[in-house]
Structures are given as structure tokens and as C-alpha cells.
Amino acid sequence: MVTDYGFPDLEFERQIAESAGAEFEAFQCKTEQQVIAAAKDADAVLVQFAPVTRAVINELSRCKVIVRYGVGIDNIDIEAARERGIIVCNVPNYCIDEVADHTFAFALCLTRQVALIDAEIRRNEWNNTPARSMPASRQMTFVTLGFGRIARAVLDRAAACKFKIAACDPYLPAETAASVGIANLSLDEALATADVLSLHVPLNDASRHIVNARTLALLKPTSVLINTARGGLVDGVALADALNRGALAGAGLDVFEKEPLPLDHPLRSCSNALLSSHIAWYSEMSGGELQKMAAEEAIRALRGEPLQSRIV
């Protein structure tokens, strides 16, 4: 069964399930209680944004596998699933290029001040030089927090545009960093070095609000921040304050702690922030790929076959 989805239809999942001899059901659950009512007798659960909490997992009487539509798994209680012996999988191999493209589009738009210059023209202001400093890409350092699939794709794009590149990933082996010629910085070094800082780490207790008032103060006032990973990585109120004070040049955000972004959130009034609606994953290809990969992984788990992206 599918707890919730934002796709136009679920024909990929339905066909894959039925061809394997499984029944198929889909819902649009928003709450724990709705997920429990829908999923309590399911053998396999596919989830997009619905909460799969400990309370939910404790009520799953037959579940063998939970598959998250996407890379992040922060809406699933992994420890509760582990205790119940329920397999949890994600889909890490889709939308890598889409998210990398979206991230780098933010980077170029912010460093080239495209939105600010567009706004000037619409105010009938015509300036041949920008109001604030605009270094060339070859003068700037592009740093990713994390060095996974998407971060590497982003850094490839940055290198192609002549940015100096570096990463901050405590799990990156020194020999791997050396083999690809990437500087692996500490967090404080990354913050002090970055002209563009792009977040590509999972959300967990250690990474929640990794961008906060203290860490924002370590960035250069000319730097830009990009987050296409998870909204909870950033203290949005502290970021809005830094942007409004001129302590940070700009930010590009595709994800937020609460989605949709509340109407009264201070980020909405930041003229130097670019905001998009958790859409970095999307292309005409990526949605179908995600649906197909998630459903196929669920069937592999039910059949006891080797899995491609098992978390627990």
C-alpha cells in the first residue's frame, strides 16, 4: 500500500504489484492515525511524506518492508522499525542530476545576482555594474557539506565553471579525498572558506540546525548558502535574520522545516533569498523513475531477493 503521494497516478506501482501477485491500495494519509488505519494489514508500505512514527510501526501487524519515495528517511522511525524487524529502504539513485542542476542554478543566480538585477530593471533602474561585489567564479570556492552522489555531481558542475572546490564530510576516507583531488575540510574550515556553501547531508539529531546563528556567523558576509537537502538542516529564523542584516549575501532554498512555507515566515520577506517549493527533484523523467524503483524494491523485499538500498 501507498500511504501518500504527489504523483499524477500510481500505474507504475499498481502494475508492478499486480504482476507479482500482490494486491494494491493507495491513500493520501496526513496523520499517524490515518497511516495506522490504512497500513495496519499491509505487507509492504511505500511512503512519501506521511509520518511513519513508532506509534505507526507498532500497529503494523504484517509489514515486512517500508520503502521511502526519495533519499531522506527522516519521516520514518528507523529504530522502531529495526526493533520490529521491518526492513526500511530508500531510493538514493534517482534525481541526482535534477537536484544537482537545481542547486547549481541557485548558485549561479545568486553569485551573478540575477534576481536582484532583474528587480532593479523592473523598478526602472539600469546599472551596468552591480550594487554589491560580484567576484568571478574562478575567484570563489564552492564547498559542499557532504560528499555523496548529489554533492559530487554539484561539485562537477562547479569545477566546470572554474570554481575552486572543497567538501566537508567527516565520513569521507582520506584516501578517497586524495584520489579525487578534493580538500576535505572541518566544519569550521568549510564555513570560513566557502563563497558558496551547499548542503548535502541527511537530517538527523547531529545535523539538525547545523546552520544556525553560530555557524552563520562564521560565513563571510559575501557568501551564499544553498539548501536542496532537508529543511531541518537550517534554522530558518536565524538565516532570515542574517540575510536581512547583510551578514550573508544570499540564500537559495528548496526545502523548509515546515512545508508549505508558512505565510508569516521571515524568509518570505528576504529580497536576497531565492525560494522554491521542494521541486529540485523534479523532471519529466524523475517521477516515474522514483515510482518504479520504489515499487521494485518493495517486491524484492517481499520475495526475499537482494535489495539495492536497504537502510535497516
For the annotated catalytic residues, the residue numbers are 230, 259, 278
52 beta partners: 76
**Cα–Cα distance for residue pair 45/41, rounded to 1 Å:** 10
Query: Residue 233: what are its φ and ψ, rounded to 5°?
Result: -70, -20
Residue type, 124: N
**Cα–Cα distance for residue pair 92/5, rounded to 1 Å:** 18
User: How many angstroms from the chain centroid is the CA of residue 311?
Assistant: 17
Q: Residue 182 CB: number of other CB atoms within 10 A?
A: 20
